[in-house]
Structure 1
Amino acid sequence: MFIVIVGEEGGRANEFEQALADFGLGWDVRWLPDAAAALALPNDRPVDVVVCDLRVGNQQGPALLAQMRAHHSDAVRILLVDEGQGADLSQALEVAHRLLRKPLDAGELIEAVESVIELRELLDNEQLKQAIGRIGSLPPPPRLYVELTRLMQDPESSSAQIGEVLSQDPVIAAKVLRLCNSAYFSAGRVVTDVRAAVTRLGLQTIQRLVLATEAFSGSGVVNGIDREAMQDRALRTSRLAAQLLGGPSAELAATAGLLAEVGMLLPGVRIPGREPEHADTGDGPHYAEAGAYLLGLWGLPMPIVEAVASHHEPSRMRMSGFWVGGAVHVASALVCDTPVDENYLRAVGLIDRLPRWRSMAEELAEAA
């Protein structure tokens, strides 16, 4: 693992070396003073991770990451930001896969890099990594979703604060209210205030609604897929997956179900079963794996990434038994009217539940 850190205080290198030794990690970390040194790295030495400040000398960090992408397309790009720099991140989120706080913390970097290693082990496909790396219009991490995640991790955050953040984006606020008052979530009383929506639905549901709105933003048809229809399927799949799994992992299943088809919006992916002009030609990565790789780079938990990657083929999952991936497979198949892998359900001993699950899917469809 070759990690390049640009612009950070090199005097902290000993601290990082000790942290790596404590974790038993033999990673090669190179501290470079400026952008020129980073761009001078030989192209035949693969860079696995590049980390830089929002500003490196006279150059903007996002511009450096964009240049590094051109030379090392499959490198994970991490940007370091100070508190209060959120307003400056619109350009950054177009080229950075992860955002970490400044000053750089060894533990946070190790956790971020290890999650990437786990992701690459899951999706060990060189063609996939290169294809994703070459996509210039790779969707950035959803800005509002990232901000909500940060607030939810702060025990002092209130529903009023979260409502205020949502209200700063009129489009998001309007769509959240519309979704809150839809048949999926409505309890019969119209909600007209964003803060009331937060209180009524709960933080995790609001977070998923925002994620759906940002992940499927835009209008019209992409890759033969209608975005509005996709979002409708995503919401139903999310609710059904949570109901099928239940228990403490229901939230993971709900988020994975929400994002199962997000890879279809990426250019150059294979989408089996599309119309002839969008047919499975054998070129490019499968949309499920491409979407999972993107979510992994965004920093979503590995159970979600694995479920998205394998929802169309549950027998590939590393996790034995029926867990997040199994619930998303069944929910997605029932909502999208595609075949359920009955051999998989027999293997995990749950084939007898399929008729009931079909009824649950039908009830959700009638409520839409």
Structure 2
Amino acid sequence: MYTETHAILFVDSDSNQLRSLRRNLREFRDKWQLHFAEDAQQALELMQQAAVDIVVSETQLSGMPGSELLKQVQLHYPSATRLLFSGQAMRTPSQEVVNHAHQFIAKPCERDRLIDILQRVFHLRSRLNNPALEEMISSMGTLPSLPSTYQEMITALRSESATVKDIGSIVAQDIGMSTKILQLVNSAFFGLPRQIASPEHAVSLLGIETVTNLALALGVFSQLDPDVIDEFKLEQLWHHSMIVSGLVQHLAKASELDQQQYQIPMLAGLLHDLGKLVLATQDREEYRRIVQQAADDGIPLYEAESESLWCNHATIGAFLMGLWGLPYSAVEAVALHHSAERQSSERLDCLLVYAANLLVESLNPSQQGDYYSTDILEALLTPDVVKKWKAITLEYLDGQAA
């Protein structure tokens, strides 16, 4: 196990803003190492002398813009979390902003909001507990898509007849596109009053022009290597993710949740195996070994991952989602979707994702042993509810197979 320094570097050319930050965060001086710099050059010099976990930079700096500073941080200190303060909304952020900042924070930012963001970042980093993975994931700017979906998106964006609904439907079917679009739409650059969990809603808010610019000009979407798809059966991963997300919706409706309440669990269902995509594309050789180990030992993939990496794909996917500022309830649901002991009927958002994945896997003939036993549901839910959920699952899967 490794320990973090919990060091934060704030960069702002406004000395009054830095004084305000010092004052607002003074109660955390015993927990966090707080550093302050008035320009990019001073910030980079400081990072050469001291380890920094989080860099929080204003967009407008003297000498070098904040986005360029974060680009340098990403290049030389890839494990550092990069947060960018934004004083105004804009319809389309620059390529530097899209590719080099993890989160975009509205300025002025309330003290409690800033503290919450920083604490969540440290919490995510502590759960990952693997500095090599932390560096690998923190350096990522995009997530690749299946080639068929990528080409469908590009064709639609270049078509004069495509509608916002058409584009939203394509995004909602893809793990990589959904994650990136939701990262951007939930950023301060678009100035929205609340977090968005629906990929379709995100596209409708951004509009076709902005999505086109993001895709074609800024290159926020990319396509997977066909060899990686074949080796790690990623088309099956996409299919399974869509199935789980759809089942979450059905179970949520049966639990009398409304659309606004089940949007976040549906998102978590779509992204629950995001960590597998990260490992398959970013550390192919190691993941190949882990997949083979799981097959040889007859254990679930998430157990083989934990043995080799000290964490599994659930934690890895949640780390990326949290790093990119996606709704935290969805982050928690993804992180816990293999953690039976952490489930509770009081956290139905997490339980829906856990149950949907469990119910689908329990009916998968390729799964062996009791790893996907539904007994845990009996301890969390009444027998009638468990029976109802199992019936819903069978009906839903039969409908998908038809």
Q: Same fold per TM (> 0.5)?
A: yes
Does residue 392 of structure 2 align to residue 366 of structure 1?
no
Q: Pick one of 132, 135, 140 that aligns with 1:133.
A: 135
Q: SS of 1:137's equivalent?
A: coil
User: How much does 1:40 deviate?
Assistant: 1.6
User: How much does 1:53 deviate?
Assistant: 3.0
Q: Which residue of 1 aligns with 2:266?
A: 254
**8 Å contact from structure 1 (residues 46, 72) kept in 2:** no
| Number of residue-to-residue matches in the alignment | 318
Aligned equivalents of 1:259, 1:271: Cα separation in 2 = 21
**8 Å contact from structure 1 (residues 19, 107) kept in 2:** no
Q: Which residue of 2 aligns with 1:167?
A: 208
Aligned equivalents of 1:328, 1:216: Cα separation in 2 = 27
Q: Pick one of 297, 304, 310 that aligns with 2:330.
A: 304
**8 Å contact from structure 1 (residues 234, 260) kept in 2:** yes
Does residue 389 of structure 2 align to residue 357 of structure 1?
yes
Q: Which residue of 2 aligns with 1:93?
A: 98
Aligned equivalents of 2:276, 2:223: Cα separation in 1 = 13
Aligned equivalents of 1:356, 1:270: Cα separation in 2 = 37
Aligned equivalents of 1:148, 1:57: Cα separation in 2 = 28
Aligned equivalents of 1:253, 1:240: Cα separation in 2 = 10
Does residue 267 of structure 2 align to residue 265 of structure 1?
no
Aligned equivalents of 1:265, 1:8: Cα separation in 2 = 39
Letter in 1 for 2:115: I
**8 Å contact from structure 1 (residues 53, 80) kept in 2:** yes
Aligned equivalents of 1:256, 1:263: Cα separation in 2 = 12
Q: Which residue of 2 aligns with 1:233?
A: 240
Query: After superposition, what is the alpha-carbon deviation per residue over 1:95-119, rounded to whole angstroms, capped at 9, x for unaligned?
Result: 2111112455544422311222343
Letter in 1 for 2:354: H
User: How much does 1:62 deviate?
Assistant: 3.4
Q: For the aligned residues, what is the CA RMSD?
A: 4.0
Q: Which residue of 1 aligns with 2:251?
A: 244
CA separation of 1:270/1:319 partners in 2, compared to 1, >3 Å: closer, same or farther? farther
Q: Which residue of 2 aligns with 1:144?
A: 181
- TM-score when normalising by structure 1: 0.70
Does residue 18 of structure 2 align to residue 13 of structure 1?
yes
- TM-score when normalising by structure 2: 0.65
Aligned equivalents of 2:221, 2:373: Cα separation in 1 = 27
**8 Å contact from structure 1 (residues 330, 340) kept in 2:** no
Query: After superposition, what is the alpha-carbon deviation per residue over 1:29-64, rounded to whole angstroms, capped at 9, x for unaligned?
Result: 322122222222255733121012335434343342
CA separation of 1:355/1:138 partners in 2, compared to 1, >3 Å: closer, same or farther? farther
Higher share in helix: 2
**8 Å contact from structure 2 (residues 11, 43) kept in 1:** yes
**8 Å contact from structure 2 (residues 82, 101) kept in 1:** yes
Q: Percent of aligned pairs with the same residue? A: 22
Between stretches 249-258 and 63-72, larger displacement belongs to 63-72
Query: After superposition, what is the alpha-carbon deviation per residue over 1:259-284, rounded to whole angstroms, capped at 9, x for unaligned?
Result: 10111111237589846799747444
CA separation of 1:234/1:152 partners in 2, compared to 1, >3 Å: closer, same or farther? farther
CA separation of 1:318/1:73 partners in 2, compared to 1, >3 Å: closer, same or farther? farther
Q: Which residue of 1 aligns with 2:155?
A: none
**8 Å contact from structure 1 (residues 264, 271) kept in 2:** no
User: How much does 1:292 deviate?
Assistant: 0.8
Aligned equivalents of 1:273, 1:133: Cα separation in 2 = 20
Does residue 50 of structure 2 align to residue 45 of structure 1?
yes
Does residue 51 of structure 2 align to residue 25 of structure 1?
no
Query: After superposition, what is the alpha-carbon deviation per residue over 1:173-192, rounded to whole angstroms, capped at 9, x for unaligned?
Result: xxxxxxxxxxxxxxxxxxxx
Aligned equivalents of 2:211, 2:43: Cα separation in 1 = 40
Structure 1 gap segments, 5+ residues each: 173-213
Q: SS of 2:25's equivalent?
A: helix
Q: SS of 2:118's equivalent?
A: helix
**8 Å contact from structure 1 (residues 119, 302) kept in 2:** no
Q: Which residue of 2 aligns with 1:294?
A: 320
Aligned equivalents of 2:110, 2:51: Cα separation in 1 = 24
User: How much does 1:160 deviate?
Assistant: 11
Aligned equivalents of 1:306, 1:250: Cα separation in 2 = 14
**8 Å contact from structure 2 (residues 91, 210) kept in 1:** no
CA separation of 1:106/1:68 partners in 2, compared to 1, >3 Å: closer, same or farther? same
CA separation of 1:61/1:351 partners in 2, compared to 1, >3 Å: closer, same or farther? farther
Aligned equivalents of 2:129, 2:120: Cα separation in 1 = 17
**8 Å contact from structure 1 (residues 306, 325) kept in 2:** yes
CA separation of 1:165/1:87 partners in 2, compared to 1, >3 Å: closer, same or farther? closer
**8 Å contact from structure 2 (residues 343, 350) kept in 1:** no
Does residue 41 of structure 2 align to residue 36 of structure 1?
yes
Structure 2 gap segments, 5+ residues each: 1-5, 144-177, 214-219, 296-300
